[in-house]
Every structure is written in structure tokens, then in C-alpha cells.
Amino acid sequence: MPGAAGPLLEQIRSTAVAAATEKVTVARTEADAIRTGARDRAQRERASAVAEHERDAATASSRTRAETAARVGHDTLAARAAALDRIFVAADHRFGSLASHPGLRDLLVATLNDGLTYLPDGAATVACAGAIADTVRAALAATKREDVTVRLDETVPIGVMIEAGDRSVKVDGTFARRMARERSRLSTVLAHRLVENPK
């Protein structure tokens, strides 16, 4: 039945071609899916790498800004401290000129009145440099403390050292001591002025 073989072979061939075509189509679909998946995965990995790089760059930039701000702040504080030191050194050098200041007597009266309250009753001594001895005597006269004597001592900076007669108590009434006591408050005031007018 050679004539019947023709349609059968054609059917087998058609079936084989259809099956092959289907397999090729499936293979192409799978290949396309693999390519698409690989492309999507590569894009995600690339996007992730870019995002990580940007995060690292932002972190580094933020750290650099913080370090710069800290350094500038430190340098500013150091410069301000140095300026304050220069101001106080200049003030120390100007104390000597206060010996002839017209307001010295009144300031010494206040210093003596305050300092003598810390001493026990009885005799006391006020030591001062010779340059202000007359002013100290005038200030003592205003305090009406006749039991207090003046002793010259050139080692005492501008101002007075007040000592009980029995030497049990000594009060530092020098301007250097007053400046040291007021330094914290004055530093705050001066620092504000430096910020307002840095030149």
C-alpha cells in the first residue's frame, strides 16, 4: 500500500514540525524570560550599586561637613580664647596707671569697707605699694577705722592686702585678684562683644 504511506508520512512530518515548532517557541520563550530576568537582575544590581555608592558619598559628605564644622568651631573658640587672653593681659598692664586715677580713692574705700568685715575686731594692717599709700590713707580715714595702719610693700600689686593684727586672716583686695574673680563673667561679656563686632 505504497499509496497510503504518503499521507501518513505527511502527517508524521507535520506532527514532527508542529512539535519542533512548539519546542522552539517554548525554548525562545524561556530564553526570552531568562534574558529578561537577567536584564532585570542586572538593572536591579546596578541600581543597588548606584544607590549604595550615593549613600556612601552622602555619608562621606555629611561626615566631611561635620568635621569641617567642628574644626571651624574649635578654631573659632581658640581664636576667641586667645583674644580674651590678650584683653586680660592688656588690662593687667594698665593696672599701674590706676595709681593716679581720680576714682581710686572711692574704689579703695569700698574695698577696705568690704575687706575689713572679714577680719576679727581689733587692730589690722593694710599693705600697699608706695605709689598709692597716700590714697590708701585717705580711703582709711573715710572708713573711720583708727586701729588700722598702713604698711608699705612694693610686692603688692595695685590695690591692698588687708591683714588682721594677729595675722589670723588676710584679705586680698588687689585689683589683680578682683579681675581673677570676675574673669568668668567678664569673659562672657567680652565674648558676646567679640561676636557682635569681631574686628
Same domain, 107 and 161: yes
| pLDDT value at residue 171 | 94
Per DSSP bridges, beta strands 124-128 and 148-152 are parallel
- Which amino acid, one-letter code, is at 120? P
Instruction: Tell which of 56, 73, 90 closes a domain.
Output: 73
Q: Which residues of 113-128 are buried (b: 16+ CB within 10 A; e: fewer)?
A: eebbeebeeeebbbbb
DSSP 120: P
* Shared-domain flag, residues 116 and 182: yes
Cα-flanking dihedrals φ and ψ of residue 102, to 5°?
A: -65, -20
Residues 127 and 67 in one domain: no
Q: Which long-range contacts does 15-22 make (Cβ < 8 Å, 24+ apart)? A: none
Where the chain has pLDDT below 50, the residues are 1
Say which residue the cell 549604595 belongs to.
52
Based on the fold, state whether residues 63 and 133 are members of the same structural domain. no
What pLDDT is stored for residue 148 in this prediction?
A: 93
CB 179 within 8 A of CB 87: no
Task: Please tell me the predicted confidence (pLDDT) of residue 100.
Answer: 78
Domain annotation covers residue 84: no
Domain carrying residue 170: 101-195
Predicted local distance difference test score (pLDDT) of residue 50 = 78
For the chain, count helices (H), then strands (E): 4, 4
Q: Rounded to the nearest 5°, which phi and psi values hold at 146?
A: -75, -15
Residue 90, domain member (yes or no): no
Q: Quick one: pLDDT at residue 40?
A: 79
106 and 68 within one domain: no
Same domain, residue pair 67 and 1: yes
d(CA 20, CA 61): 60
pLDDT of residue 5: 54
Q: How far apart are the first and last CA of the chain?
A: 119
Is 85 a member of any domain? no
Q: Which residues contact 125 (CB under 8 A, 6 or more apart)?
A: 148, 149, 150, 151, 162, 163, 165
Domain count, the chain: 2
The pLDDT assigned to 114 comes to: 92
CATH classification of the domain holding 113: 3.30.2320.30
